Each structure stands twice: as C-alpha cells, then as structure tokens.
Structure 1
Amino acid sequence: MSNASNSENTTNQNKAPSPTKPAQRQGFGGGPGSRFVPGEKPRDFKGTMQQLLGYLGKYKWTIILVLFIAAASTVFSIFGPRTLGKATTALYEGVIRMVRGQGGIDFDEIGTILLRVLALYLSAATLQLIQGFIMTTIAADITFRFRQEIAHKIHHLPLRYFDHVTHGEVLSRVTTDVDVISQTLQQSLSQIITSIVSVIGILVMMLTINVTLTLIALTIIPLSMLIIRYVISHSQRFFRKQQEYLGHVNGHVEEMYGAHVVLKAFNAEDQSISTMKQLNDTLYDTAWKAQLFSTMIRPIMHFIGNVGYVAVAIVGGNQVIQGRLMIGDIQAFIQYMRSFQ
C-alpha cells in the first residue's frame, strides 16, 4: 500500500505543469506581457492634467508666446500658396500677351512675387525653429524635474510596494511614461493651435478664391471620413487582439526563459513549443489582418483626393475659360486641398 502511494506521488510530481491560459499570462518581473493590456483607460485623467498644468504654470507666459509664434508661423505658411498663385497668373498672362503679340512676360513682377513667397516661407521656418527650441527647452526642464522627483519618491517607498508592483512597471514610469510626456509637450501643444489656425485659415482662403470649388472640396471630406470610419471600425478589433496576443507571446517567452530549468526538469518542452506555436499563429493572423486594413486607408484617401483634384480642375478650368477665375488661383486652391489630406 505504501509503495503504491509513493508511486502515485512520484507520478504526480513528474507530471508537467499544465500550460497557463493566455489570458492569465503575466510574465516574470513585469515583462512585456504585463504591459499590453487592451482597452486600458486612464484612472484619473482630470487630476493628472491638473497636476501637469501645475508643472506648466511656471512657464505660462513662455507657452503663450510659443502658441502665438505657432499661429504666426501657420499664417505665413497659409499665405504662401496664394501668393505663389499670383506668380503663376503673371506668367500665364505674359505668355498670352506673347502669343497675341501684345508684349511679353513681366519677369520683374514675377521676381517680386517670388521674393514675397520666399520671405513668407523663411519667416514661417524661422518661427518654427524658435518655437521648437523653446518647447524643447521647456520639455527637457520638466522631464528633468519629473525624473528627479520620481527617483526621490522611489527611494522613500516602503519595500512592500515592490512586492505588488512589478519592476517593469516601475521602470516604465521613469523611462517610457516620462518620454511620452516630453514628446507631448514638444509637439502636441503647438500642434493643437497650428491645426486650428490651419483649418480656419485654409478654409477662409479657399472661400475667397471660389465658393463653388470650396463646396466641391468640402464634399470630399465627409466622404473620406465615412470610408475611414468604416475601415477603422473593422481594423480596431484586430489591433486590440494583436496587442493582446503580443503580450501573451512576450509573457510566454519570458516565462519559459526565466524558468527553463524547471521546464526541462518536468520535460515540458513539447508543451511549451505547442503553446508558443498557438500563440504565434494567432498573433500572425491578427497582425496580418490589422496591417491589411490599416494599409487600405492611404490608397483610399489618395483615390478620393485625386477625384477631388479632377473635379476642381474641370470646374476651375471652365471658370478660367469664362474669365471668372485666374489660373494661379486653381494652383493655390489645389495646394490648399492637399493640406486637408
């Protein structure tokens, strides 16, 4: 009886541990498997933003100056195509005069217009450089303070904190999260005001050129949005599943490498390989579908944009023939249309 019991215990001990379900896989030491949590939402977005604004309070007037510089740079860039269109119109009118034998091309006028365009774009580029320098300085200063305070906080945390928070999570706070804040401060703040000014300014310019062409351009935008929404709605679930199984694969690899001695002791290599193959096949399938849908967006946008260009060229060309529109205005209008893509 005792021998039978010992034999049964030995058999149970030699059984390989059953593979962990993918949904429960976390990985040792807070590895990549614990970082890919699909659908994770901020716990206190409002409070976090208030704290971030508190850090930015020291640079309030500097940030206001940066936003003003960003707006001015955008305005200069917006006036560029319209001014360049005048040069095209002057060249076209000069060619017409040459054909009719009534004169030639006024290169002095064209040169003056091109100098204005050069001044506009140089001013925009200079302001962008100043804006980038200021925001980079602010972001570097704030991230330096963040890392100092995080290091001070970590040194004063009780040891029990590290019992339930993984090493990867702590390192992520010091590195990845702070870098994301730095990139946001350098780019997003100025891009918000730049985007708003660009949309309003370009729309005003398009309306001043021709209302009919503007309506044609605006009808393309909702059509593009509908198609993009349809594609994104189908691709999102594949991207979520891709991130989920990427975490599962990373967690499985980390577990197997971290516990390879135990794995070999229980002769579980085949089970590990089988689990890895299942996870990897699922990841491949979802990643392929996600990338397929995501790569469809740009060709569709280009096609719709080209349809818009054709419509603008036909309607605008007809108005040029009728003398209701200048050819340089069509050039400027098409450049403004490109800004919406």
Structure 2
Amino acid sequence: MSRASGMPAAIPVQKKGQTGKIIKRLLHYLLASKIRVGIMVVSGMISVGLIVLGPKILGRATNVLFSGILGTMLQKQGVPKGTPMKQVIAALHARGQGSLADMISSMDVKVGEGIDWSKFGTILLIVIAIYLLSILLRLVQNFLMTRVVSNAVFRMRAQIEDKMSRLPLQYFDRTPRGEVMSRTTNDVDNISQTLQQILGELFFSVFMVVGTFIMMLTISPLLTLIAFIIIPVMGLCAGFIMKKTQPNFIAQWAKTGEVNSHVEEMFSGHMIVRSYGRQDVAKAEFEGRNRELYDASFKASFLSSLVTPVTTFFGNLSFVLVVIFGGVKVLSGTLSLGDLQAFTQYSRQSSQPLGELASMGTMLQSSLASCQRIFEFLDEEEQRPDPADAHEIGELTGGTVEGHVRFDNVSFSYRPDEPLIQNLSLQAKPGQTVAIVGPTGAGKTTLVNLLMRFYEIQGGAITIDGVDTSTVTRDSLRRHFGMVLQDTWLFDGTVRDNLLYGVPEGRHLSEEQMLEGAKATHVDEFIRRLPEGYDTVLNEDSSELSQGERQLMTICRAFLSDPDILILDEATSSVDTRTELLVQQAMNALRKNRTSFVIAHRLSTIRDADLILVVNHGSIIEQGSHDELIALNGAYATLYNSQFTQASDDTDGGSL
C-alpha cells in the first residue's frame, strides 16, 4: 500500500556531459534507416535553398517596378525618352539632386519605357514555381521524418518489452509498478510527440539560417555583420534559460512517475483504503505529490516560455538595425531597393528560425529528460544470461522430465550482508508431494523462486533429474513447471483464453479436454452462469468473478497446462472451506504422478503430503511425514495443534 512514511523517490540528476551521451544514443535510434534520413536531409536542403532564392528573385521584380516608375517620372520631368543614363545622372547632379542620381545609378532605368510587365510577370511565375516545388519537398521531408521518428519509437518500445523479459524479479520487487508504467508509456509518448513536433522544423530552421546567411553575404557583408552581431547575445540568453530549465524537466517526469505509482497503488487497493477509512490520507498524499508535479511542470513551462519573447526581441532589434543602415545604403546608391527588400526578408527569415531553434531547444530538453529515464531502464542490470552452451532440459533428460528435484548445499541471500539460506539440502523424488510450512518470512516462497530460477543461487546446486538447472535455458526449465500463486492474475480476454494461457505452444487442447479440466477443478459450474459462458470477456480486475472463483480459474489454468512439476503457493487461501475440499480432490488428481511443491498455512491441506519441510530463517528445521512430525512433537506439532485448537475454540464459541 501507500509508502507515505517512506522516503520519496530520488530525482535523477543529469551529470556533466551526460546530455551529449543521451543525444548520441537517441541519434542511434533515429539513424537506424540511414537512407530515409539521407533523403529527408537532402529534400530539406533543396527546399530551403529554393525558399531562400525567392526573396532574391522577388528583389528583381521590385527593381523592375521601381525602375519603370522612375523612368516614367523622369520623362514627366522633361527628360527626353531614350536619354542615356549617364547624361540623366549628370543632369541630376547639376540640379542638386545627387541622392536621386546615386539611387538611379544602381538601377536599370530607361527613360520613358515604363514598367516592363512581361518581365515582371515572368519573375512572379518563376517565384511561384520555386515556392510550389519547395512545398512539395517539405512534404517529402515531413513524411520521411514521421517515418523515421515512428520507427525509432517502435524500436525503443520493442527494446523495452525485451528488456522486461530479461530483468530479474528483484527489479520488479523494488520498483513500483506505476513507475515502470510511466517510463514505458508516458516517457515514450513524450519522446514521440516532441520529436514529431521539432525534428522536421529543426532541420528546416538550421538550413534556413545557413541559407539566409549565405544569401545575405552575397547582397551586403556589412549588413550581414550588423544583422548577426546580436546572435551571440541571443544565444547566451537562450542558453542560460535552457540551463535553468533542464533540471525542472527532469523533475517533472520523475514526479509524473511518482504520481502514477501512487494512483496505481490506490486503485489496486481501493477496497483496503476504504475499509480502513484512509481516503483522506490517500487524498492528502496525492495532493502533495500532485503539487510537487505542478511546481516542477510550472517552472519548466514558465522558464521555457521565456525563450520566445527573448529571441523575438533580439530578432526585432536586428531588423530595425538592418532597415536603418540599409536605407542609408540605398540613398547612397551602394544598394538597390530590391536588394534591401530581399535583405530585410532574409533578416526575418533568419531571426525567426533562430527563435524557433531556441524554443525547440527547451522542448528537446523535455524529450531528453524522458530519454534519460528510458535509457536508465534499458541499462538496468539484467538477470544472468543463459550459458552459451545451455541446452533444452529435455535434451539432457531423454525428452521427458520425471521430476527428481535436489537442493545440494544451496546458499542464497537477497543482500550480501543478510544471509537467508545457507547450505540447504533437500530431495523430492518423482511423484512426491513436498509441503513447505513455516512462519512468514521464513523463506518458503524463496525456495520455489530459486527452483524456477527467478533468482540465482550463490552457492551449491539445484538439479532436476540430475541436470543442474543453471546449465539449461530458463525457458525450457520453466515450461515443465505449473504454478498457482496466492495472488490471482487474469488478463483482459475471454474466459477461454485465460484458462488456456498455460498450454504450451504447439500443443492442441480440444474443447472436450478443456471442459474436463474445468469440471475437475469446479470452474465449469460458475462459468456457465456467465453471460457468454466460456466466451465471456473479463476485464482487468475480473469484477465479474469473486476472489475464490478467480483462484479456481488459476488452478484450472495449471491443471490444463499439464506440467511435470507443480508449485502451489497458498493456492487455496482464497477458497471457502466447502470449495477447498472439492479443490483438494482436484489437486490430488493433478498431483498424481508428478512432483509437487505445496506452500501452505492451512496445515489441514497438506496432511497427505509425502514430505513436509518445516522452514525457519532459510533453514529446514524439521522434515518428515505428517504423522512423523506430530510424533516428534516439535515445531510442526506446535503449529498444527495451535491451528486446530483455535479452530475448535472458534467452533465452540460459535455454538453458544
């Protein structure tokens, strides 16, 4: 349940130089399809190249219009049509109109010819064609970018799924489920959405800045220097903001995982929360965690929002400086009006993507924070891989597994400084039922976890039919086990799918065989009462069934899987006394001719076990049959007598 009294989860801190490693690792996903990325980059470059050509060509159209207007104006002022421009300029200087003369000297003015509409129209058609082609190439770029990002996220999700199967059980024991879900869903979605939004614009903006810079240099190096002199100041301001923003984005996604963990806990245990009247406590804890998430999100969003106004201010300042100095150059005749128009467009085209790059930098920080959390998950220590020469266990046992299980001087501990099992030895012969009893925390469940290699032993050996389980593949080992746990697990799907979940691939189970198993484990009668019978779709919490019915379904699942070795961990704990007797009959049939390990607190359910192990502090303190242990009058006898004395007292009290 809630860990309100525990220490809060530590927020990951990004170490110096770690951002570069995260970006490099993210690029590895994006560059998986180098051909697509190459075509995307080339199409983006050509598209930007065409876009930056547009203002230059439009500047010529402006010059055509302005030259025609000036030619008409000069004719109206008495200048004869066709007068050479050298004479016109000399005459203007003689009249004291030197500024007009300097302006005309930089243009192709012909007195009396007016505007060349044919040339003007041709230029406009060329510009329209250029922009249409650039749009088409942008569409190609965006399409490929979407595919690249989708494939990267697809590979990331696939690796996460594979990673889950390779993580040791202890990782899931120590990590809240909500935190795992947050990393594998929220963080992946954040990466996908952010990259979809910024990746295409990132390429476009970078190419645009480079392209406009080159075009501006061809028009006026001096104005280019004036336009870009404020870029370092803009970069320093944006960098300072992003540096302050990054820790808040990391905290935001860490707090999101904490909120998800809390919600998942409260939802899973909502009946317990209500039963103990802890709604207000749960609500208060949620509000505290939600407030922390709000604070981190607000700081990240607010600081990142400062980038746009800062870059806009510097962009406008650059534009004003360009217009002032450019106007002076036009009046002095060292720059045409069309070139000034083109330059101001380039100034806008360069300042806008610079601002967008800064804004995208803050969005990228959010994505990198999620990347850090996902890469931390992918870098978690995995369970020890199967040996390179590992075999299928069936290959070493002649194709069948009889179920002769031995623990030889096995040692194990969850923590090096806290030994749990030391030099434990036991033997279960084929077909025997071995019951394991003892107080809570004695190591009963640990024994079966070691048997199935959910944990690796630190000393000794565990063998099945003489084969060391550490020398065979885990999958082949576990295929010979059937397990029924105290905690039931049914997934979204039909009743039929849930019952047949444990049937190995390649093995066909007929409808009649399934029904026989269902009847033997007493699930058929209540399944037939469901609306669609065996085709009824169960939801995640299987609210259509009682706890006892869900337990019976997991028992039936193990029955239908027909395992060689059976593990029952408090399998009848949620079943009422009457049903327990029926289930015991089914379990006796299921255990027939197969080795079974039964962990039980109800000692009445294991009286007929071939061997009973009494475990405490990871050691076997007594072993034998029920009658032998009762005659021994030790720990088992004390535990057994206490249960039945209590049961007798309850019965007597209930009869009063």
**TM-score between the two structures when normalised by the length of structure 2:** 0.40
* 2:334 is the alignment partner of 1:324: yes
* 2:107 is the alignment partner of 1:97: no
1:159-238 superposed matches below 5 A: 169=180, 177=188, 188=199, 197-238=207-248
Map of 1:75 onto structure 2: 49
The residue identity in structure 1 corresponding to 2:47 is S
The residue identity in structure 2 corresponding to 1:267 is G
Map of 2:470 onto structure 1: none
Deviates more, 1:248-257 or 1:312-321: 248-257
1:292-303 superposed matches below 5 A: 292-303=302-313
The alpha-carbon distance between structure 1 residues 239 and 267, as it changes in their structure 2 partners (threshold 3 A), is same
DSSP-derived class of the 1:23 partner: coil
What fraction of aligned residue pairs are identical, expressed as a percent?
30
Note if contact 1:38-1:244 (Cα within 8 Å) is conserved in structure 2.
no
The alpha-carbon distance between structure 1 residues 77 and 22, as it changes in their structure 2 partners (threshold 3 A), is farther
2:237, 2:229 → 1: CA distance?
13
* 2:278 is the alignment partner of 1:291: no
1:117, 1:339 → 2: CA distance?
16
Structure 1 residue corresponding to 2:62, chosen from 88, 94, 99:
88
Map of 1:245 onto structure 2: 255
The alpha-carbon distance between structure 1 residues 241 and 218, as it changes in their structure 2 partners (threshold 3 A), is same
The Cα of 1:70 is off from its aligned counterpart by: 3.0
Map of 1:127 onto structure 2: 137
Map of 2:278 onto structure 1: 268
The residue identity in structure 1 corresponding to 2:240 is Y
The alpha-carbon distance between structure 1 residues 121 and 50, as it changes in their structure 2 partners (threshold 3 A), is closer
Note if contact 1:69-1:127 (Cα within 8 Å) is conserved in structure 2.
yes
Map of 1:115 onto structure 2: 125
Note if contact 2:157-2:188 (Cα within 8 Å) is conserved in structure 1.
no
2:226, 2:151 → 1: CA distance?
47
The alpha-carbon distance between structure 1 residues 136 and 170, as it changes in their structure 2 partners (threshold 3 A), is same
Note if contact 2:234-2:311 (Cα within 8 Å) is conserved in structure 1.
yes
The alpha-carbon distance between structure 1 residues 44 and 125, as it changes in their structure 2 partners (threshold 3 A), is closer
The alpha-carbon distance between structure 1 residues 46 and 237, as it changes in their structure 2 partners (threshold 3 A), is closer
Note if contact 1:81-1:335 (Cα within 8 Å) is conserved in structure 2.
yes
The alpha-carbon distance between structure 1 residues 226 and 157, as it changes in their structure 2 partners (threshold 3 A), is closer
Map of 1:305 onto structure 2: 315
Runs of at least 5 residues in structure 2 that lack an aligned partner in the other structure? 77-110, 353-656
Map of 1:11 onto structure 2: none
Note if contact 2:2-2:265 (Cα within 8 Å) is conserved in structure 1.
no
CA RMSD, 1 decimal: 4.2
Report how many aligned residue pairs link the two structures. 310
Note if contact 2:182-2:260 (Cα within 8 Å) is conserved in structure 1.
no
The Cα of 1:48 is off from its aligned counterpart by: 7.8
Q: Which has the higher helix share?
A: 1
The alpha-carbon distance between structure 1 residues 249 and 338, as it changes in their structure 2 partners (threshold 3 A), is same
Q: Which has the higher strand share?
A: 2
The residue identity in structure 2 corresponding to 1:221 is I
The alpha-carbon distance between structure 1 residues 330 and 65, as it changes in their structure 2 partners (threshold 3 A), is same
The Cα of 1:246 is off from its aligned counterpart by: 3.2
Note if contact 2:178-2:264 (Cα within 8 Å) is conserved in structure 1.
no
Note if contact 2:178-2:257 (Cα within 8 Å) is conserved in structure 1.
no
1:180-200 CA deviation, whole Å, 9 max, x = no partner?
Answer: 579969984x77765554333
Deviates more, 1:251-260 or 1:16-25: 16-25
Deviates more, 1:122-131 or 1:44-53: 44-53
Note if contact 1:146-1:178 (Cα within 8 Å) is conserved in structure 2.
no
Select the structure of larger CA radius of gyration: 2
2:208, 2:268 → 1: CA distance?
52
Structure with more contact order per residue of length (Cα contacts < 8 Å, sep ≥ 6): 1
2:217, 2:152 → 1: CA distance?
42
DSSP-derived class of the 2:229 partner: helix
The residue identity in structure 2 corresponding to 1:328 is G
Note if contact 1:234-1:293 (Cα within 8 Å) is conserved in structure 2.
yes
Structure 2 residue corresponding to 1:335, chosen from 342, 345, 363:
345
* 2:33 is the alignment partner of 1:23: no
The alpha-carbon distance between structure 1 residues 172 and 296, as it changes in their structure 2 partners (threshold 3 A), is closer
The residue identity in structure 2 corresponding to 1:320 is V
2:216, 2:204 → 1: CA distance?
18
1:88, 1:22 → 2: CA distance?
69
